[in-house]
Amino acid sequence: MMKLTPRLQTVADFVEKCDCFLDIGTDHAYLPAYIVENGIAERAIASDINPNPLKNAQKTLEQENLNEKITLRLSAGFENIRENEAGEIAIAGMGGMMIAEMIADTPWLQNKDIHLILQPMTHFELVRKELQVNGFEIDAETTVSEGNRVYLVMSARYFGTVSQKPAHWIYLGNLLNSTKKSDRQYVEKIIKMLRVKAEFSDDKEVKEALRSIENAKSK
């Protein structure tokens, strides 16, 4: 049985019971293997832009005897994925800019039956922004420590409405007042990064976010 690292386990914990799970950028296909072995999905599609990771994935499927339940698919983002193929979709271990582009390029994700589990490595603000302008809500998000890094994992669904958020939301989501240790570490790191940016640039978005953080703290 597949055992996941804390980062991928946190992603897996957000995946809900479904017929078909899709993992974009699967590499070794550890995540879909875990999801299917644990009965969370009946079957899965493990997709990757590069053939070599799919060779790694093929080895995992053979080791775990999952060839009949997991399909490998060469695909840049959602390019070779059809609408309605999967209800639960993970995109993990990729830069936030790339994840944001995939969301922008795939209008059929704007469907109330689709659940996205996203784990950007960088540029979390681009992912939150793209979700917000396209009518998604982040219904849950958390961080997890692995080695000496803290990773962010978010769960998002399409609601079709664009709700107003405070200026700091794109950077911190709803984690500003969380007491969980890794969330605190994440928040402190982002605030530090915003302060450095504010000192060396005239980025209005950053300055507004810092003001909004101060306001939220003083309430």
**Sites for ligand SAM among residues 8-37 (CB under 6 A):** 8, 24-27
**Can you tell me which of 14, 48, 86, 187 binds ligand SAM, judged by CB under 6 A?**
48
Binding-site string for ligand SAM from residue 96 to residue 125, where x marks contact by CB under 6 A and - marks none: --x---------------------------
Q: Which is nearer to ligand SAM, 90 or 187 (CB)?
A: 90
The Cα-based distances of 98 to 93, 95, 122 in angstroms read 11, 5, 10
CB 36 within 8 A of CB 69: yes
The reply to whether 94 sits near ligand SAM by the rule CB under 6 A is yes
Q: How far apart are CA 85 and CA 83, in angstroms?
A: 6
The Cα-based distances of 76 to 56, 73, 81, 179 in angstroms read 17, 10, 9, 38
What are the residues whose beta carbons fall under 8 Å from the beta carbon of 17, sequence distance 6 or more?
39, 40, 41
**Sites for ligand SAM among residues 124-163 (CB under 6 A):** none
Q: Binding residues for ligand SAM, how many (CB under 6 A)?
A: 15
Task: Name the residues that contact ligand SAM, by CB under 6 A.
Answer: 8, 24-27, 48-50, 53, 76-77, 92-94, 98
